[in-house]
């Protein structure tokens, strides 16, 4: 149900419907109706994106009127539905009436199956595109906070934390996997602080060789070592009045940890080869993607320094933990890079969106950004495809019947997961959003070993 679009076939002639079914069953979830009441009840319940109306209806005036009525009622119930009306080729007046009522296309009897197939594909494609662009409009109020894009619950939490800790002057330890946006978070904190007009200085402690790190951080006096032709300020001093961001703090060698601690305690530093201390007024933010507690246990990180740095700890979620942000971020990057590349790209194909949602994102937002950047360069048409993103096209997996079940389960699981996340683990709301009953959702949760986080419905307690 989730992977294939629903297609409703309406017509009196069962033979004609059977013929269609054989050809279309692999691509669509087929629904059938032989009269108006049946047809409209399907439209109400399943909201099929595509409807083929009038297969084998006798071409008299009465059936044309009935067709038109079904068409109008279908569009009233679901204005996005693509209704393809099959008609007698002499029936120009009704064809025009159907088009005026909003039919997607008119096909002449007898229907050429290969033509129908193409028309259906295009109708489904258009339906998906329209749905996607509506989703974009709905997300127009999505948060962009100091360059941080994200609308998911976990991201709202991060933004809330930034708002609270930003204006204070305490050190913040930002924890999160590589590429989750720790530096952006640090910059956002700086921008909210009273130090915002003063410099924000970042240093990646993991990327600078140990021997250089000390002089980078603390600076040196003229003649303190061979090649020190004049005095040079370190990054700490350069951040005077502002914020110092120590990235990959877990990589800092123990010898420097002592010096850093002294600076944090006394707000002064000694340049290399310098006698007198220089006082500095700097707020320190640090980030790490390693478990500092473990580093402390194994003697690689000083506990006293750790407690100095982590007055407040802010955890940035992985991209996998905030799936609802994936498409939002992808579209943001697409717009940005398309503009930079001067390419007229309209968006992602539905297959590309699916591929984005099912990928694991070990490199988090940085990986997503890079994939979209490459895809923008590689894309030839108006839409970015899974192959442009160097991701697997799951719909091509579908056609391979041996993995059909697997692929469908995978997507079903992802969908359930992301809706649950959106509803904050509320099963009742998620069931409504997914259009399934609560018991069915519970079945899916247990099949995919997913958990509902919390429930506001007392009846649900203990069930999930
Ligand atoms: N929420 C976000 N919104 C927009 N861009 C983001 C977001 N998170 C990360 N990025 C981008 O992803 C890349 C990696 O972010 P960065 O802050 O350097 O990650 P980290 O320091 O955690 O490794 C940067 O180019 C950054 O601009
Ligand atoms: Mg970083």
CATH number of the domain encompassing residue 65: 3.40.50.2300
Neighbours of 435 (CB within 10 A): 12
Same domain, 166 and 274: yes
Q: How far apart are CA 388 and CA 383, in angstroms?
A: 9
Residues 280 and 223 grouped into a single domain: yes
179 lines ligand 1 (CB under 6 A): yes
Q: Which helix (H) or strand (E) holds 350?
A: helix 350-358
User: CA-to-CA distance for 85 and 401, rounded, in angstroms?
Assistant: 31
Together in a domain, 51 and 86: yes
Q: Let me know whether 237 and 359 are in one domain.
A: no
Q: Give me the domain span that covers residue 419.
A: 401-460
d(CA 198, CA 239) in angstroms, rounded, equals: 8
Of all ligands present, the nearest one to the C-alpha of 365 is 1
Query: Strand runs (DSSP E) across 157-293, as ranges?
Result: 172-175, 200-204, 219-220, 232-233, 243-247, 268-269, 278-279, 283-288
Per-residue confidence of the chain (464 residues) as pLDDT tens digits?
Answer: 346 889 999 988 888 888 888 989 889 999 999 888 999 999 988 889 999 998 655 556 667 788 889 999 999 888 889 999 998 877 788 888 899 889 999 998 888 888 999 999 999 989 988 887 777 665 554 456 778 998 888 999 999 999 999 999 999 999 999 999 999 999 999 999 999 999 999 999 988 988 899 999 999 988 888 888 888 899 999 999 999 999 999 999 999 999 999 999 999 999 988 888 899 999 999 999 988 999 999 999 999 999 999 889 999 999 999 988 999 999 999 999 999 999 888 889 888 988 999 999 999 999 999 999 999 999 998 889 999 999 988 766 544 444 556 666 777 888 888 888 888 888 888 888 887 778 888 888 888 888 775 444 433 333 33
Per-residue CA distances from 128 to 145, 250, 349, 389, 399 (Å): 29, 46, 9, 19, 19
The CATH number that applies at residue 432 is: 1.10.10
- Please check whether residues 264 and 189 belong to one and the same domain: yes
Our mutation pick for probing the ligand 1 site, out of 139, 158, 174, 179, counting the most ligand atoms within 8 A of Cβ, is: 179
CA–centroid distance, 183 to ligand 2, in Å, is 5
Structure tokens belonging to residue 372: 């979209």
The Cα 301–Cα 250 span in angstroms is 7
Same domain, 54 and 87: yes
Ligand 1 near 369 CB (within 6 A): yes
Non-local (6+) Cβ contacts of 266 within 8 A are: 277
Residues 264 and 327 in one domain: no
Query: Whose CA is closest to atom 15 on ligand 1?
Result: 181
Residue 1 lies in a domain: no
What are the residues facing 417 on neighbouring strands?
Answer: none
Residues, CB-to-ion distance under 5 Å, ligand 2: 183, 247
Nearest CA to ligand 1 atom 26: 181
CATH code at position 352: 1.10.8.60
C-alpha torsion 151→157→163→166, nearest 10:
-120
> Do 332 and 295 sit in the same domain of this protein?
no
3-state secondary structure of 454: coil
Asked if residue 176 has its Cβ within 6 Å of ligand 1, the reply is yes
Pocket test residue of 156, 184, 321 for ligand 1, highest count of atoms within 8 A of CB: 184
pTM of the model: 0.62
Helix-helix angle 427-434:438-447, to 10 degrees: 100
Q: Residue 177 is part of a domain; what is its CATH number?
A: 3.40.50.300
Counted domains in the chain: 4
Is 194 found in the same domain as 301? yes
359 with 388, same domain?
Answer: yes
């Amino acid at each position: 149900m989730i992977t294939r679009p629903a297609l409703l076939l309406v017509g009196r002639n069962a033979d004609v419907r059977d013929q269609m079914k054989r050809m279309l069953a692999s691509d669509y979830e087929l629904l059938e109706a032989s009269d108006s009441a049946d047809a409209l009840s399907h439209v109400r319940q399943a909201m099929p994106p595509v409807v083929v109306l009038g297969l084998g209806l006798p071409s008299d005036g009465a059936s044309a009127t009935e067709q038109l009525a079904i068409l109008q009622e279908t569009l009233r119930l679901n204005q996005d539905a693509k209704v393809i009306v099959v008609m007698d080729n002499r029936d120009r007046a009704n064809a025009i009436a159907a088009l005026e009522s909003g039919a997607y296309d008119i096909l002449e009897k007898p229907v050429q199956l290969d033509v129908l197939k193409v028309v259906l594909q295009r109708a489904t494609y258009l339906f998906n595109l329209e749905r996607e662009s509506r989703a974009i409009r709905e997300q127009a109020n999505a948060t962009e906070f100091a360059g941080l894009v994200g609308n998911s619950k976990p991201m709202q939490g991060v933004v809330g934390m930034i708002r609270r800790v930003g204006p204070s002057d305490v050190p913040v330890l930002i924890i999160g996997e590589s590429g989750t946006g720790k530096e952006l978070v640090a910059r956002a904190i700086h921008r909210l602080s009273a130090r915002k007009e003063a410099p924000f200085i970042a240093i990646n402690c993991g990327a600078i060789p140990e021997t250089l790190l000390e002089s980078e951080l603390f600076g040196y006096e003229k003649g303190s070592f061979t090649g020190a032709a004049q005095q040079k300020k370190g990054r700490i001093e350069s951040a005077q009045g502002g914020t110092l961001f120590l990235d990959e703090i877990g990589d800092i060698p123990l010898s420097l940890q002592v010096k850093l601690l002294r600076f944090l305690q006394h707000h002064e530093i000694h340049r290399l080869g310098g006698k007198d201390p220089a006082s500095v007024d700097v707020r320190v933010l640090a980030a790490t993607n390693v478990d500092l507690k473990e580093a402390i246990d194994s003697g690689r990180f000083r506990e006293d320094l750790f407690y100095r740095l982590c007055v407040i700890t802010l955890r940035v979620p992985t991209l996998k933990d905030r799936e609802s942000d994936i498409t939002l971020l992808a579209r943001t990057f697409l717009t940005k890079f398309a503009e930079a590349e001067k390419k007229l790209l309209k968006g992602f194909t539905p297959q590309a969106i699916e591929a984005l949602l099912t990928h694991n994102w070990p490199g988090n937002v940085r990986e997503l950004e890079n994939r979209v950047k490459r895809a923008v360069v590689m894309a030839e048409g108006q839409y970015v495809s899974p192959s442009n993103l160097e991701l697997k096209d799951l719909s091509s997996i579908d056609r391979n019947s041996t993995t059909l079940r697997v692929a469908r389960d995978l997507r079903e699981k992802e969908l359930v997961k992301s809706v649950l996340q959106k509803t904050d683990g509320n099963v009742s709301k998620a069931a409504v959003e997914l259009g399934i009953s609560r018991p069915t959702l519970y079945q899916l949760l247990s099949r995919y070993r997913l958990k509902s986080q919390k429930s506001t419905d007392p009846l649900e307690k203990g069930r999930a």
